[in-house]
């Protein structure tokens, strides 16, 4: 009678299973470790460019001008203001109040050249400066000034009660400039207006020049107002970089 092969004892079976399990463990650990390291390197490689791109996106160009004329009334030559406003009450001009003269400033002149029955001429001149700094959260000073420039032009063109409004580019004045002319009736007279809005990099200059004739005198022509306003604005634009020296 053929005998069957002897069966391994339970203790020997358990020993073999343990040996197989121990032999498999290092392989699994190595495989898992390689997989984890590979994923970590991949993620790290992807995150670094994203962080760099984010930093580059927040950079803005520095503002060109960091100050304004300390005295806005001196930004226009005394001879020019005397020609535009012959009988100014205050020849040196009246400066507007400002909490920060490096950011904004203004000045105005007005006067009546009274010739009695032969007629009189009234003139008023006003200039204002607005400077913008660069801000990573908002934008560059130049871009911010460009936006304000557009708003100032639109504001002048939309003057309430204005008639015959015309807007034309003012060549040779700053980075960009627009001259707006119109007439406006007040105090029983018709006033002629010329407003020049100019941007010089991160600074916006708004100059308004107006006048009227009294007692039968003719009001100034729009062409004369624009000519005078443009000349004064050019001087004001030139005063901005001069203030930084």
pLDDT at 212 over 60: yes
Give the pLDDT confidence of 199-208 residue by residue, as tens digits.
999 999 999 9
Give the pLDDT confidence of 113-141 residue by residue, as tens digits.
998 878 899 999 999 999 999 999 999 99
pLDDT at 12: 52
Categorize the per-residue pLDDT at 100 as very low, low, confident or very high, splitting at 50, 70 and 90.
very high
b/e per residue 84-96 (b: at least 16 CB within 10 A)? bbeebeeeebebe
User: Hey, what are 105's tokens?
Assistant: 């400033």
Give the pLDDT confidence of 163-191 residue by residue, as tens digits.
999 999 999 999 999 999 999 998 889 99
3-state secondary structure of 132: coil
SS3 content of the chain, % helix, strand, coil (to 5): 40, 30, 30
**Higher-pLDDT residue of 243, 143:** 143
CA gap 168, 234 in Å, rounded: 16
Domain layout of the chain by residue ranges: 1-57, 72-243
Categorize the per-residue pLDDT at 39 as very low, low, confident or very high, splitting at 50, 70 and 90.
very low
Report the percent of the chain where pLDDT is more than 70: 76
CA gap 163, 148 in Å, rounded: 24
- Residue 121's H or E segment, with its range, is strand 120-131
CATH code, residues 72-243: 3.40.1000
CA gap 224, 30 in Å, rounded: 89
């Amino acid at each position: 009678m053929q005998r069957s092969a002897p069966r391994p004892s339970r203790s020997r079976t358990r020993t073999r299973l343990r040996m197989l399990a121990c032999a498999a463990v290092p392989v699994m650990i190595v495989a898992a470790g390689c997989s984890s390291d590979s994923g970590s390197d991949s993620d790290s490689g992807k995150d670094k460019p994203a962080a760099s791109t984010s930093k580059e996106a927040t950079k803005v160009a520095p503002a060109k001008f960091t100050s304004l004329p300390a005295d806005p009334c001196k930004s226009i030559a005394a001879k020019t203001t005397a020609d535009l406003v012959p009988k100014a009450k205050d020849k040196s001009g009246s400066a507007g109040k400002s909490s920060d003269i490096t950011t904004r400033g203004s000045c105005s002149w007005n006067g009546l050249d009274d010739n009695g029955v032969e007629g009189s001429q009234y003139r008023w001149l006003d200039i204002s400066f607005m400077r913008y700094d660069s801000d990573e959260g908002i934008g560059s000073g130049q871009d911010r000034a460009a936006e304000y420039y557009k708003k100032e032009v639109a504001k002048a063109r939309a003057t309430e009660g204005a008639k015959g409004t015309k807007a034309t580019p003012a060549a040779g004045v700053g980075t960009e400039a627009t001259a707006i002319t119109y007439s406006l009736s007040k105090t029983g007279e018709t006033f002629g207006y010329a407003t020049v809005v100019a941007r010089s990099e991160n600074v916006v200059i708004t100059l308004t020049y107006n006048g009227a004739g009294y007692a039968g005198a003719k009001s100034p022509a729009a062409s004369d107002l624009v000519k005078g306003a443009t000349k004064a604005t050019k001087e004001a634009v030139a005063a901005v970089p001069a203030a930084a020296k």
